[in-house]
Structures are given as C-alpha cells and as structure tokens.
Amino acid sequence: IFFVSGMTVKTEDIHAAMKAYPSMLYGLTMILLVTPMLGFVTLEIPFSPKEFSYGFTLFVCVPTTLTSGVSMVGNAKGNTVLALFLTVGSNMLGVVTVPFVLRLVMSNADVTLDAVALLIKLLLTIFLPLCIGKKHKVSLGIVNNGSLVLIVWQTCSSSANQILDQSFINILPVLAGGVIIHAVFFCVNGAGTEVLSRMGAMPWRERMAVWLLTSQKTLPVSMTILTYLNEDAVGDHGLVAIPMIIGHVSQLFIDSYISSVWGSAEDKKAKEENVESHLPKIDSSSPNTSSELKVMEINPLHNEQESNEV
C-alpha cells in the first residue's frame, strides 16, 4: 500500500504546496498533534468489549487518509496539490509522532507500548516503501485499494468467531461513535479554518483541502500499527479493527457527500462568472449612457447591431 502511494507523489507538487505554509502548518499540527488528543476521551467510553475503545483510540491517533482524501478534494474543486502534500507529509511525519502520541494516550489504560520498537517497524513498513515508491511512477490505484481490502479481510477473518459473537446492541454504539468522532473533527476544523480564512491566510480552495484532510484518519496505517500491538495488551485484533473500519467508512460517506456539494457550488459559481465575463460593460459615468438606455427601452430591437450590444 505505502509503496504504491509513494508512486503517486510528484516532487513539483510538494514544492508548490510549500508556498501555502499557513495552511500546511495548521493541517499538520491538527492531524498529528491536536486530533489525537480525542483518544483520551474515546479511551474512557465504556464500550463492550473494551477492544472497541482501543480501536477508536488507535484510529484517532493516526495521520490522514492516503488516497480518498485527495480524491474528495479534487471532487470539491479544492487545492489538490496542498491535499497531496498534507497526505504525504502527515503520513511520513506520523511514522515518528504516532508511536509516542499513542503511548501517551494509551498510558491511561495501563497499556504498555514500546514506542521505539514501533517506530522502527513503521520506518521499515511505511516510510521506506513510500520512499522507494517515489522512484517508480506507475498508476496502481487498484492494487493499492485491493491491498487494503485484503488486510481488512485477513484481520477480520482471524477473529471471525469473536466478531460474530457480538450482539447488535454492542455494535450500535460503535456505529454512532464513528459518525460522532468524524463530526467532532469536522466541526473543530471548520472553526479553525474559518478563523484563518477571516485573517486572509487561507483561501477557500486551500480551506476545502485542509478542512477535509484534517477531519479524516487513515485505515491502512491503523491496521499496520494494530498488527504490531500485543493482543495480551489490547485484546483481540479483529475486535479492535471493527471501530477503525466503521470510522473509515463513516468519513467516506459523509465527506463524499460534502465534497460533491462543494464541487457543485464551485461549478455553479464558475458558470456565473463565465456568463458575467461575456456581458458588455456599460460606462455609467458617460453622459450619453442615460439617453442611449432610454432609446433602447423605447425600441430595443430597432436594429440587429444595437440588439447584440444590449
């Protein structure tokens, strides 16, 4: 997954995104440092079994989505270059930050994590493949998405019995939790980007990219980290994966709708601007304007030339 993601990275796009440094700094800070703090809350929610709490906690601590976020920003007519930079930048920096942030958050649950060992594993399985894939420009989106499906299927299949034993009453709060967590992220980042927008530091196209990307979390990184966690500490991996999958699906459905609404609004705005650009400009300061308009009102179609000018 990370090797293929690295193939999509263009150096010139990263250089272009660096120019929007206020949006970039806000986005990376929110993705890597602020939104993971919600893990202190999810850890205390009394889900049954406890693995569901661990799943949400792990999910909120990881970086933003690898592919879907950029696609949604493009659909919304937002700044896709900035979106790509936030995606690559947060996932590469997250290799360093996530192990220590996760250890800090999980320490309240008496779950011991070896942050250094996890860091080394993430360097080998995420950072290195991204760098290697950067050298090979091939479009392999199907392989990327297919690999993610296989990882989810493998993890859930290994815990099929435990998953099937869960009642709908236990799953229902998890469904609600996935939607609520994304709603919290979306509202918080909506307010944050609004402040920067009013300050003139974040144009609308940049804001769309930052708003969406800072409200999403990546499932592949979550699943990768999960495989490195001891089941004696966090419980059954299949049960831990359920909240992460639900959270991922929730954000896909919600943000797909939002991005389509934004995209339609941008298309409508572009059409209106195109029409206005083709309208003739009448100089209201000209002394002949009022008399000319009166003549047009009396006989607006007295000849074809004046009709076209109107």
Q: Residue 100's closest CA among 86, 120, 114?
A: 114
Do 228 and 221 touch, CB atoms closer than 8 A? no
CA–CA gap between residue 263 and residue 209 (Å, rounded): 12
Per the listing, tokens 């690898």 go with: 66
CA of 123: how far to CAs of 2, 126, 279, in Å? 11, 6, 58
Q: What pLDDT is stored for residue 156 in this prediction?
A: 58
Chunk the chain into consecutive blocks of 10 residues (it has 310) and report each block's average pLDDT, rounded to whole numbers. 51 62 93 95 92 95 88 90 86 90 86 81 73 55 54 58 77 94 97 94 93 94 88 88 91 94 92 74 54 46 48
Q: What pLDDT is stored for residue 301 in this prediction?
A: 46
CA–CA gap between residue 134 and residue 28 (Å, rounded): 21
Do 247 and 53 touch, CB atoms closer than 8 A? no
> Exposed, middle or buried, 274 (CB in 10 Å: 0-12/13-18/19+)?
exposed
CA–CA gap between residue 225 and residue 222 (Å, rounded): 5
CA–CA gap between residue 40 and residue 241 (Å, rounded): 18
CA–CA gap between residue 79 and residue 241 (Å, rounded): 32
Q: What pLDDT is stored for residue 265 in this prediction?
A: 93
Which tens digits make up the pLDDT trace of 11-34?
Answer: 555 565 667 788 999 999 999 999
Which tens digits make up the pLDDT trace of 269-290?
Answer: 888 877 777 666 655 555 555 5
Q: How many CB atoms lie within 10 A of CB 137?
A: 11
The torsion angles phi and psi of 158, rounded to 5 degrees, stand at -70, -15
CA–CA gap between residue 139 and residue 45 (Å, rounded): 41
Q: What pLDDT is stored for residue 195 in this prediction?
A: 95
The torsion angles phi and psi of 241, rounded to 5 degrees, stand at -70, -25
Torsion over CA: 70, 73, 74, 75 (sign): positive
**Region class of 6: left (phi > 0), else alpha (psi between -120 and 50), else beta:** alpha
